[in-house]
Amino acid sequence: MILLEYAKTLGAKRIFIEGNTRLETSIHLYRKLGFKEIPLQGESHDRCNIMMEIYL
């Protein structure tokens, strides 16, 4: 079972991640899994320049 399926069984409705666009392979994987880019919100880590979310 992948992590997204497991989170769903726990009742999660949405998952968001922060990342850096320099990590192109990771960003590609997140998009392939269905994550969509959203505007950065609130305080984030200094090195993060992208936020992505997926609704389960």
Question: Could you list the pLDDT tens digit for every one of the 56 residues in the chain?
Answer: 689 999 999 999 999 999 999 999 999 999 999 999 999 877 767 789 999 999 99
- For residue 31, the model assigns a pLDDT of 96
- For residue 47, the model assigns a pLDDT of 86
Look at the block and give the residue holding tokens 């200094």.
46
> What's the total number of domains in the chain?
1
Please tell me the pTM assigned to this model.
0.83
Per residue, the 3-state secondary structure of the chain, as one string, reads CCHHHHHHHCCCCEEEEEECCCCHHHHHHHHHHCCEEECCCCCCCCCCCEEEEEEC
Domain that holds residue 44: 3-55
CA angle 31, 35, 37 (to 5 degrees): 90
